[in-house]
Structure 1
Amino acid sequence: METVIAFIIVFGSLVFFHELGHFLFAKKAGIMVREFAIGFGPKIIGITKGETIYTIRLLPLGGYVRMAGEDFDTVELLPGYRVGLYIGQTGEVEKLYLNQNISNPDILFMETEKSDLDKELYIEGYSDDGEFVRYPIARDAVIIEKGQETIIAPYDRQFESKPLASRAMTIFAGPLFNFILSFLIFLTIGLLQGVPTNEPVITEVQSSGAAYEGGMQDGDYVKEVNDTPISTWTEFAEIIQKHPGEQLSFLVERNGDLVKLHVVPATIEEAGQKFGQIGVLYTSPVEKNALKAVVFGADQTWTWFKRIFELLGMLVTGKFTIDALSGPVGIYKATEEVAQYGVYNLMHWAAILSINLGIMNLLPLPALDGGRLLFFLFEAIRGKPIDKQKEGMVHFVGIVLLMILMIVVTWNDIQRFFFSS
């Protein structure tokens, strides 16, 4: 149960922040947001506030922000369509009833001849007594069909009506907020747990390692390696790794005295590469400092961004195969393992996942945010949008391919974690 709760919190936070980026920038651009959803599939919970319904859906595979003017959002009243109208005190239509038989003297019925629910906002046709009538439609008029109410979206409230820069920023804001979430998580870790000082202090010397044979002791502060000054553990570790099998001279500070040592790093071979190892354990001292916590948050976010991007490049070049990818099942199992080591490790894992989600969504692939941004780039170059039907077909194909990839990755995860010997 704890794993389930941890997974829901981690994955839910990632999806929520991603969609929150889309939502806030859509609102800033004046775009009507129909729905803010966490999950896909059947609705579990739905709360309407203003013009937006906030929902939690059954399948925890992502989320979405449905904006006015996107696919399947438009309502078209064809000639001959019978509608009921509620006229407000201003003389404008405030409610349109579709496919309903209502016995209410305040509702006027008409057979539609012509209407515009986007730009000119009017409806005209013939009343039940044969009279030709025309009514203006209120900007916040509600369409009621089969008990469901939908606020109309005038064209200036629709996604496509906005300038290219506003549309692009609304889409880019999703991945951007994932990077912001990662920074905030690392910042919180730095504030609560402290910021690692990265000082080159030996925490523990293993009795079977080269460092023990060379006389190194717990608590030694490394000052120099081969007469090169050392200020961070990272510098120290890099030198060790780059000199397998070579004798290195160390100058360490021990109880206020300087001690000269000589150590030959053992040669370790992994993935066809050799690197040095001397057999020491390291736990960085930490300090609590708000300014350093901010720097730590930014540095960790940028560091993991580069690492994940490099791994993605290895996947493209074939150094990694599709078998190395993980889907929801793999993330769940990894979350289960990480959660055993405490809340800070779980937060660190969530931050890494958030960066990963942001990068993956920026890939220029159909149906992803990066794919939509690519079409905006084409629009900027051409000076006009790509045909909506063609773009929609490309995104549809992309969704199908992504679903196939998700199925393959999930099956690989199931085999790896449940059927491997």
Structure 2
Amino acid sequence: MPFPNMDSVESILAIVVVFGALVFVHELGHFLLAKRAGILCREFALGMGPKIFRVKRGETEYTLRLLPIGGMVRMAGEDPEMEMLKPHMEVSLERDALGKVTHFLLDGPGNASARAITGTVVRFDLEKDLYIVLDVGGEERQFSVHPQAQLVKDGQEVQIAPLNRQFKGKTISQRFWAIFAGPFANFLLAFVLFIAIGLLYGVPKDIPYLGEVRANGPAAQAGLMQGDKIISIQGQPVSSWKEIVQIISQSPGKEMQFEYERNGQRNTVLVKVGKDENNVGKIMVTNPLTYAPGEVLKYGATSTYEFTAMILKSLGMLFTGSVGLNDLSGPVGIFKMTGEFAQQGMAILMKWAAVLSINLGLINLLPLPALDGGRLAFIAVEALRGRPVDPHKEGMVHFLGFAFLMLLILVVTWNDLQRLFFQ
């Protein structure tokens, strides 16, 4: 299959918008629930790799990274930033009007103000009691530390994170929701997208009425019109749109008698059923649509549920071996399909984005290391055993899981490239 016209601005823009929205919403879910729990969020990033744009607002740095895949919310306690301050290190302290340390100048006294105090670190606690003891001219002096104090090195500031601002310092419930909120946001996005589709393009109704009757199609040539109620086909009563589709699709090329009702009067007409390239019967009509708010909400919920069930079934087939790695698509294949759907219209692209969002949410909930589901699994183990798993062991498991995921992405990307260039 030839690659879609990826030179078109529309296709490229669609890919950027769709994937940017999916990642943004996922990370926004993590971010909002983490902030609600009082966790210090150091960075909100879209993309991976080197930073190409950054802006600091409040406690959080918002960044755009070079590689347009993934994103992250970097929460306090996940990095060894406290190792920047060590015993026997010479530092300068700047304090506020109440005498609390607001800045630790780790490059020495060169950039310190005249009021700064310089000494050698004896001991400190920046997580619980918030103090530091310096040897100043042979005398030990203790200083209280402001809970939002900054560690300054090479011109960069890093805010300290007391234990009550760290991820690990929060309750099991707070940590669970901060992690679960990412995948949940993707399900919510899919629900909203399906609702938007319903409001903009209507919701299909399973009633025996004709929607749009395409010009010069079999139905139009026979005289059928939009809004006609189909009573029977070939003497077989019908009461739903699904029944109409089933009868017509199984009758390609046949001439069939339709009984219909229009303006309270019943009539009959002969329709010569056409067919498509798969020899499926068609009469070139669409099903009726509704824009009623209740029906639109129902459509959003049922569509989200149905696609979730379908993707879960597909994942089950992967784990049982019914589907192999060669059948999977990676980023290249998904980009390709997104470009194709963008050419088919906004409604198709929005539905595809909703399906991708559900897929992202489900994949992240799998209990695999490095994914949100893996982190939730460790939280569940902690809840059961009454104490957390050793952080070093958990970190190693996530590292190995991440390496495996990167290998899997490479494999499926190779599959995509082979299908793209050699088939």
- Indicate the TM-score class for this superposition, using the shorter chain for normalisation: 0.7 to 0.9
The counterpart of 2:339, out of the listed 336, 341, 355, is: 336
Tell me which moved more, 85-94 or 9-18: 85-94
AA matched with 1:84: S
Q: By how many angstroms is 1:197 displaced? A: 2.1
Q: Distance in 2 between matches of 1:250 and 1:396?
A: 66
Counterpart of 1:141 in structure 2 is 149
Structure-to-structure mapping, 1:349-368, within 5 angstroms: 349-368=352-371
Q: Which residue of 2 aligns with 1:106?
A: 115
Output the CA distance in 2 between the equivalents of 1:138 and 1:304: 50
Match of 1:125 in 2: 134
Q: Equivalent of 1:253, from 260, 264, 287?
A: 260
In the alignment, what sits opposite 1:392?
A: 395
Q: Counterparts of 2:86 and 2:297 in 1: how far apart (Å)?
A: 58
Q: 1:411 aligns with which of 403, 406, 414?
A: 414
State the SS of the aligned residue for 2:102: strand
CA contact (8 A) 1:252 1:259 kept: yes
Aligned residues: 406
Distance 2:354 2:49 in 1: 27
The farther-off stretch of 77-86 and 147-156 is 77-86
**Aligned equivalents of 2:271 and 2:349: distance in 1?**
39
Q: 1:230 to 1:83 in 2, by over 3 A?
A: farther
Find the residue that maps to 1:386 and give its secondary structure.
coil
Kindly state the Cα deviation for residue 341 of structure 1 after the two structures are TM-superposed: 1.4
Aligned AA (1:110): G
Corresponding letter in the other structure for 1:113:
V
1:336-356 CA-partner distances (Å, limit 9, x unpaired): 111111222211111111111
Q: Note the C-alpha offset of 1:89.
A: 1.1
SS of match in other structure, 2:127: coil
User: In the alignment, residue 129 of structure 2 is paired with which amino acid?
Assistant: E
Residue 40 of structure 1: CA displacement?
0.6
Alpha-carbon offset, residue 290 of structure 1: 2.3
Query: Which of residues 16, 27, 34 in structure 2 aligns to 1:26?
Result: 34
Deviation at 1:383, TM superposition (A): 1.4
Question: Which string of whole-angstrom CA distances, capped at 9 and with x for unpartnered residues, describes residues 61-113 of structure 1?
Answer: 11000111113343353321111110221011110011345153222111111
* Aligned pair partner of 2:163 in 144, 155, 170: 155
Question: Helix, strand or coil: the match of 2:353?
Answer: helix
CA 391–216 in structure 1, closer or farther in 2 if over 3 Å, else same = farther
CA distances 1:371-415 after superposition (whole Å, capped 9, x unpaired): 111111111111111111111111000000000011111111112
Deviations 1:301-333 (A, max 9, x none): 111111111111122222221122212211111
Q: Does 1:42 align with 2:40?
A: no
Aligned CA distance change for structure 1 residues 277 and 5 (closer, same or farther; 3 Å): closer
Match of 2:3 in 1: none
Q: Does 1:72 align with 2:80?
A: yes
What CA distance in whole angstroms lies between the structure 1 residues aligned with 2:305 and 2:105? 53
1:273 corresponds to which residue? Answer: none
In structure 2, which of residues 290, 293, 306 is the aligned counterpart of residue 303 of structure 1? 306
Look up the equivalent residue of 2:176 and give its one-letter code.
A
Whether contact under 8 Å (2:217, 2:284) holds in the other structure is no
Change over 3 Å in CA distance of 1:391–1:252 after alignment to 2: farther
Q: Separation in 2 of the partners of 1:159 and 1:60?
A: 27
Tell me the CA shift for residue 235 of structure 1.
4.8
- The question of whether the paired residues in 2 share the 8 Å contact of 1:100 and 1:145 is answered with no
Residue of structure 1 in register with 2:321 after alignment? 318
**Which of 339-348 and 283-292 deviates more?**
283-292
Cross-structure match for 2:95:
87
Structure 2 counterpart of 1:420: 422
1:408 is aligned with what amino acid? V
Deviation digits for residues 13-41 of structure 1 (CA, Å, limit 9, x no counterpart): 00000000000100111111111100011
Equivalent pair of 2:191/2:304 in contact (CA under 8 Å):
yes
Shift of 1:222: 4.2
Does the aligned pair in 1 maintain the 2:45–2:63 contact within 8 Å? yes
- Return 5+ residue gaps in structure 2 as ranges: 1-8
Instruction: Answer yes or no: is the 8 Å Cα contact 2:231–2:261 preserved in 1.
Output: no
One of 166, 179, 183 as aligned partner of 1:171: 179
Which residue in 1 is equivalent to 2:4?
none
| Distance 1:25-1:221 versus aligned 2 partners, 3 A rule | same
Q: What's the % identity of the aligned pairs? A: 44
TM superposition shift of 1:253: 1.9
Secondary structure of 1:74's counterpart equals helix
Work out whether residues 48 and 66 of structure 2, in 8 Å CA contact, stay in contact via their aligned partners in 1: yes
Q: C-alpha distance in 2, partners of 1:189/1:48? A: 36
Residue aligned with 1:114, SS: strand
Tell me if the contact between 1:250 and 1:260 (Cα under 8 Å) persists in the aligned partners. yes
Distance 1:225 1:375 in 2: 59
Q: 1:79 to 1:194 in 2, by over 3 A?
A: same
Mind listing any 5+ residue stretches in structure 1 that lack a counterpart?
270-275
Query: How far did residue 227 of structure 1 move?
Result: 8.8
